[in-house]
Amino acid sequence: MKKKLCILLSSLMVSCVVFSSPDGRDLVPEGTFTSGIEGPAVDAAGNLYAVNYATKGTIGLIKSSGEHGLFVTLPDGSVGNGIRFNAEGMMFVADYTNHNILCVDPKTKVISVFAHEPAMNQPNDISIAPNGSIYASDPAWSDNTGKLWRISTKGEVVLLEDSMGTTNGVEVSPDGRLLYVNESVQRNVWVYDIEPNGNLSNKRLFHRFADYGMDGMRCDVNGNLYICRYDKGTVVVLSPEGKILYEYSCKGKKPSNITFGGKELRQIYITLQDRGCIEVFDALNPGASLFVNPRPAF
């Protein structure tokens, strides 16, 4: 593996940015998923799920053995995007066509509408806090704006912020105290404090990129934030201080989302829309997970 090491110097500190040559591997053959592949998520048993397996409106399952196939077909014209599991192992899916957050019981495969909000543009990505609150990004691509929502454990929908940029990736920090939200077109990453009631405060700019878009995000156990750089074909890793630590180079140019998996969550799985498959890399640190690091509600 060839790597180019770039050292950035300033009068106050030295930052190290490593640009990696493509050294990942394909988890499934190219074209296994449609160009709408998104929302990778791993359950407590290590199985990987992603939306739009072979056909739009489906969810595919890739077992830890490598075997893959159709898991469920979503009902009534629903099309999934982000997927997350809560601490109890239930699957939640952002259904952008029908303005829903769906709940799927992995054991029975029964699908229900957990929350519905007609005022949503198209719920895109979701993240779950330790107390069970779901945060959902909601972009309006037609005018480059977006919203941010919170869904309670009872399915109650609360609008947290309106008139943002094109909200896309969303992630809760490992300690459950921070929420990260990115805006794809504006190339901003924002961070908020999560209050005890689940609402947000103290919004501030975490990082701004000069080029290319963004999509899904995940944190590792150390609080580093892994961000898909859509059209650039990379995943960049930011420290908890917002400094670039590392950048993975994918074979494809359109990474849409990312999750941690494998033994001890030491691998990252990246969905590639232009390749219709998932690429795998070794992670810098294990991923943060409600399953392996249960945390009390705040």
Binding residues for a divalent metal cation: 168, 215
| Identified catalytic residue from 43, 95, 215, 220 | 215
Which residues fall within 8 angstroms of residue 241, CB to CB, at 6 or more apart? none
Q: Are 193 and 172 a contacting pair, CB within 8 Å?
A: no
The C-alpha atoms of residue 286 and residue 298 are separated, in whole angstroms, by 23
State both tokens at 185. 């077109």
Q: Beta partners for 189?
A: 182, 207
| DSSP letter, residue 288 | P
In angstroms, what is the C-alpha Rg of the chain?
18
Q: How far apart are CA 135 and CA 127, in angstroms?
A: 5
| Residue 274 known to be catalytic | no
CB of 95 within 8 A of CB of 78? yes
- 210 class by beta-carbon count within 10 Å (0-12 exposed, 13-18 middle, 19+ buried): exposed
CA distance 254 to 257: 9
d(CA 185, CA 241): 22
Residue with tokens 């077909």: 73
**How many of the other CB atoms lie within 10 Å of CB of 100?**
22
Contact 101, 146 (CB under 8 A): no
> Would you please indicate which residues are annotated as catalytic (active-site) residues?
215
